[in-house]
């Protein structure tokens, strides 16, 4: 801000221009698209697909692409994706993750390490894939360790040495949600825990797994919202980026 004030003082910047410098979004009427975030984070602009029509999604995509930015649409059904792709055939749709995104040539743009995505059971797959595909769209290498829930602990222990090499883990679990506690005790890197709404009875739509993860007695675990694979990947990608030598990825 000080710099802008100086330029105004020096007369090298008009008041109108100064105000423009602070304008950080484009007003589409029904939405305000933020073009600065991309620059701040180096990540594609994300659209939350649920509750938006295919038409609205298409309009926002066009606005973002006009700035040359990559696209990531989460929680978009196959039906809507097909409709959007009729005008944006360059976008790829991942059915399990329910994600529509720009083919990213810079995949694995970060040289150092990988993000481990673990899930406890096969029913947690959608959320785990939402996390994995998002992290890949953000340029991270992802390795998947699925169906490694604690009720058959050998499945986890067999893979733990590879998991320990990751910079950060995303651990997805429904039902009792105990997986992050066990993982947290076995690795030395940050663990992002994602409770899922998978379960029945006293699961209460994921509340059970959420409370388990928040109360974990293992250290180094932090938690995102129920089923929020995207949010976990976002946090994990920010952490993964920090683990890179400065010259790549971080600027």
Give the separation between CA 61 and CA 82, rounded to whole angstroms: 14
Question: What minimum distance in Å lies between the beta carbon of 183 and a second copy?
Answer: 10
Among 79, 89, 90, 200, binds a second copy (CB under 8 A): 200
Check binding of 235 to a second copy (CB under 8 A): yes
Question: What minimum distance in Å lies between the beta carbon of 129 and a second copy?
Answer: 11
**Nearest CA-CA partner of 54 in 23, 86, 30:** 86
Among 99, 146, 163, 249, binds a second copy (CB under 8 A): 146
Site size toward a second copy, by CB under 8 A? 101
**3-state DSSP percent of the chain in helix, strand and coil, to 5:** 40, 20, 40
Altogether, the residues listed in the chain come to a count of: 251
Nearest CB to a second copy, comparing residues 10 and 89? 10
Among 68, 105, 154, 247, binds a second copy (CB under 8 A): 154
Quick check: 80 and 57 in contact, CB under 8 A?
yes
Quick check: 173 and 195 in contact, CB under 8 A?
yes
**Nearest CA-CA partner of 91 in 104, 106, 109, 110:** 104
Residues 6+ apart with CB under 8 A from 115: 135, 140, 141, 142, 143, 166, 167, 168, 169, 170, 233, 236, 237, 240
- Number of neighbouring beta carbons within 10 Å of residue 65: 16
Chain-centroid distance, C-alpha 105: 18
Residues 96-135: x where in contact with a second copy by CB under 8 A, - otherwise, as a string: ------------------------xxxx-x----------
Quick check: 224 and 192 in contact, CB under 8 A?
yes
Question: What minimum distance in Å lies between the beta carbon of 218 and a second copy?
Answer: 4
- Choose the stretch contacting a second copy; rule: CB under 8 A; options: 4-12, 62-70, 86-94, 98-106: 4-12
Binding residues among 12-51 for a second copy as defined by CB under 8 A: 15, 18-19, 22-25, 30-32, 34, 37, 40-41, 46, 50-51
- Choose the stretch contacting a second copy; rule: CB under 8 A; options: 61-69, 84-92, 102-110, 147-155: 147-155
Check binding of 211 to a second copy (CB under 8 A): yes
Check binding of 64 to a second copy (CB under 8 A): no
Nearest CB to a second copy, comparing residues 46 and 89? 46
């Amino acid at each position: 801000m000080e710099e802008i004030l100086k330029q105004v003082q020096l007369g090298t910047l008009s008041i109108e221009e100064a105000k423009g410098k602070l304008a950080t979004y484009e007003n589409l009427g029904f939405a305000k698209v933020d073009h600065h975030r991309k620059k701040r984070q180096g990540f594609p602009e994300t659209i939350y697909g649920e509750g938006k029509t295919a038409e609205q999604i298409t309009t926002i995509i066009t606005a973002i692409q006009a700035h040359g930015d990559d696209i990531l649409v989460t929680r978009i059904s196959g039906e809507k994706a097909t409709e959007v792709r009729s005008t944006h055939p360059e976008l790829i749709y991942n059915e399990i993750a329910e994600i529509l995104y720009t083919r990213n040539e810079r995949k694995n743009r970060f040289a150092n390490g990988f993000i481990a995505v673990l899930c406890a059971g096969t029913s947690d797959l959608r959320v785990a894939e939402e996390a994995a595909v998002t992290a890949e769209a953000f340029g991270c290498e992802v390795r998947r360790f699925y169906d490694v829930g604690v009720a058959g602990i050998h499945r986890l222990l067999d893979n733990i040495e590879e998991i320990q090499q990751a910079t950060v883990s995303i651990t997805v679990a429904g039902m009792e949600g105990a997986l992050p506690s066990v993982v947290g005790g076995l690795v030395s890197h940050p663990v992002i825990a994602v409770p899922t709404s998978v379960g029945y009875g006293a699961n209460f739509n994921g509340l059970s797994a959420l409370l388990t993860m928040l109360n974990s007695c293992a250290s180094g675990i932090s938690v995102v919202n129920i089923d929020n694979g995207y949010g976990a990947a976002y946090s994990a990608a920010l952490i993964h980026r920090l683990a890179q030598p400065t010259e790549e990825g971080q600027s």
